[in-house]
Amino acid sequence: MASQSVTTLYFVRHGEVNNPRKVVYERLPGFPLSGVGRLQAKRLASFLATQPEAIRASAFFSSSLDRTMETASYVLEAVNHRRAEENLTPLSIATDERLLEARNRYKGQRLGHGEASLFRNGNLLRFLNLRTPGWGESYDSIAARMTDFAFEKVDEFSGGSVIVVSHESPIWTLRHYLETGRAATNVLTRKTALASVTALSLEVRTHRLVRVRYKDPSERIVN
């Protein structure tokens, strides 16, 4: 029996965000990369430009938020430079709302201050179980939209590869769900560093996860 075709999705987390007030920026506009974040994105872009599968990607998708689009622009420039050397058609960025950051009830607020204080409005109870995000969008919801995106692209770009720029919670929730069959995770156990790459290889049609590769190219770049 012939083996199933496999598609690889390169899930990229954005770089560090410029957020001097330390608010929960969630899906708010106006939160671009910090200086460190730009360095992280450039290091990430250089790494992906050395990966043959990434260079030959069939498509490039991103969340539409400032931090992801800025990160994506660095990656796109580096990958397209290598594609030009190999006489490949340049990629362009398509946005997809399924890749957005998880919704958060404390959007625009500083945790521990005002209405977001742990000791007001029953907020402390929302954090007692780290596997149940009482602070925002459920893991089941995140897993549903991310698997919908991933499975669609695995079949659409059968046997190829796709670059995807998103956020920590969506990327980790998808990986955890594919590995365990469960959406709920403990936020303290996530392995999705800023400007990191999580490459998920899935069988076409069956959508079975066959390989996970993780890389943090900018782990030594800190503020």
pLDDT digits (tens, 9 = 90+) for 29-83: 999 999 999 999 999 999 999 999 999 999 999 999 999 999 999 999 999 999 9
Share of the chain above pLDDT 90, in %: 76
- So what's the pLDDT on residue 21? 87
125: in domain: no
108: in domain: no
114: in domain: no
Mean pLDDT of the chain: 90
- So what's the pLDDT on residue 107? 82
Walk across the sheet containing 209-215 and list its strands.
Answer: 93-95, 59-62, 161-166, 6-13, 197-203, 209-215
Kindly state the tokens that stand for 56.
């030959």
117: in domain: no
CA-to-CA separations, 163 to 5, 14, 129, 160, 166, in angstroms, rounded: 18, 13, 33, 11, 10
Give the total number of structural domains in the chain.
1
> Mean pLDDT throughout 202-214?
97
220: in domain: no
- So what's the pLDDT on residue 113? 47
222: in domain: no
Instruction: State how far the Cα of 189 lies from the Cα of 42, in Å rounded to an integer.
Output: 26
Q: At 73, which CATH number?
A: 3.40.50.1240
Most confident of 94-108, 132-146, 203-217: 203-217
pTM to 2 decimals? 0.90
89: in domain: yes
Q: Is 120 exposed, middle or buried (0-12, 13-18, 19+ CB in 10 A)?
A: exposed
> Mean pLDDT throughout 205-221?
91
Residue 65 domain boundaries: 6-22+31-103+130-215
pLDDT at 96 over 70: yes
Q: Pick the range with the lowest mean pLDDT from 150-154, 183-187, 209-213.
A: 183-187
pLDDT at 101 over 90: yes
Q: Report pLDDT digits (tens) over 129-182.
A: 566 675 689 999 999 999 999 999 999 999 999 999 999 999 999 999 999 999
For residue 119, what pLDDT band results from cuts at 50, 70 and 90? very low
Kindly state the tokens that stand for 89.
């058609």
Instruction: State how far the Cα of 135 lies from the Cα of 105, in Å rounded to an integer.
Output: 6
For residue 2, what pLDDT band results from cuts at 50, 70 and 90? very low
48: in domain: yes
Strands 59-62 and 93-95: parallel
**Helices (H), ranges, the chain:** 35-48, 52-55, 66-85, 123-126, 139-156, 168-180
